[in-house]
Amino acid sequence: MGVSALGYVGFEVSDLATWRHYATDFLGLMDVTTDESELRFRMDSHAWRFAVTKGGRDDLSFIGFEVTDAAALAAVAQQLKTIGVETTQDKALAKHRGVSDLLKCADPSGTAVEIYYGATEVFPEPLRSPAGVQGFVTGDQGLGHLVLYTGDVAAALKFYQQGLGFRLSDNIDMALSPEFSLELTFLHCNPRHHTLALVPAPLPKRLNHFMVQVENMEDVGFAYDRADKLGVKIANTLGRHTNDHMFSFYAFTPSGFEVEFGWGARTISEPWTVTRHKANSTWGHKRLSNS
């Protein structure tokens, strides 16, 4: 038993106005903000997927993982309890998030984690992307993926695998020099190749990047052109990843962490065989800038 998808994420950012422009005009998310203290954006039939609030962290502020129903919520709470993580039910927060029930806890790095079922759907209001994105890949694959920095991979794996039910997809040994490589860990909870990846680095920021996937390849190209037009800085050029086969590029957000804008990833097929890779990318993804 485990969580079934990445349902929503929250960012705490220092510049709300710039983020609103970035989320809509660059990423193509639909602005559905009703309270100016918390910007909200849609990418599909869910009432919202991204919440952006003002604060000095410029980082991930919370992660929302979806479970199928009340029984799954109780089962995940029990698994977390078994590894020593207590969850707290928060009915007021559930109402604010627009979900039926919600439990909250924190991962070993201190990131707020919410587990919920019963997200609000708004099918009568079709998605209108302000940047003309034809559609994002969500559904049973959830919102996209998050790549997190952690100072303690073993503790993170215990929380995400034993507690939340994630399974290993693969590892990449990313060579930083001839003598030194970082072992990246990729985890899945549904057909998306990875919903989470862990980078073993105890950095002040918890989020390396988040990924959104579009349905059409041209929408990656259009986003690349929009970055140029809007002055959004590219972090990595177009390329294709070795493990999930995502065709994508990376850009900086106004908060310094990055977004991966992708198309065409392969999905997990059962039975899945865990493998290792020696490089992140088959081609491309050339690093242009570190900030």
Residues 6+ apart with CB under 8 A from 235: 250, 251, 252, 258, 287, 288, 289, 290
- Does 260 bind Fe ion (CB under 5 A)? Our answer is yes
Min dist. Cβ of residue 145 to Fe ion (A): 6
Query: Would you call 161 helix, strand, or coil by DSSP?
Result: helix
Measure the CA angle with vertex 134, ends 129 and 137; round to 5°: 100
Q: Which is nearer to Fe ion, 22 or 250 (CB)?
A: 250
Site string for Fe ion, 210-249 (x = CB under 5 A): -x--------------------------------------
* Cα 21 to Cα 16: distance, rounded to the nearest angstrom: 9
Min dist. Cβ of residue 260 to Fe ion (A): 4
The b/e string for 262-281 (b: 16+ C-beta within 10 A; e otherwise) is bbbbeebeeeeeeeebeebb
Min dist. Cβ of residue 86 to Fe ion (A): 31
Q: Is 219 exposed, middle or buried (0-12, 13-18, 19+ CB in 10 A)?
A: buried
Q: Are 171 and 184 in contact (CB under 8 A)?
A: yes
Q: Which is nearer to Fe ion, 211 or 235 (CB)?
A: 211
Min dist. Cβ of residue 147 to Fe ion (A): 5
- Does 76 bind Fe ion (CB under 5 A)? Our answer is no
- Does 258 bind Fe ion (CB under 5 A)? Our answer is no
- Which residue of this chain has its Cβ atom nearest to Fe ion in the complex? 260
Count of residues engaged in binding Fe ion, rule: CB under 5 A: 2
Min dist. Cβ of residue 144 to Fe ion (A): 8
The residues of the shown chain that bind Fe ion, judged by CB under 5 A, are 211, 260
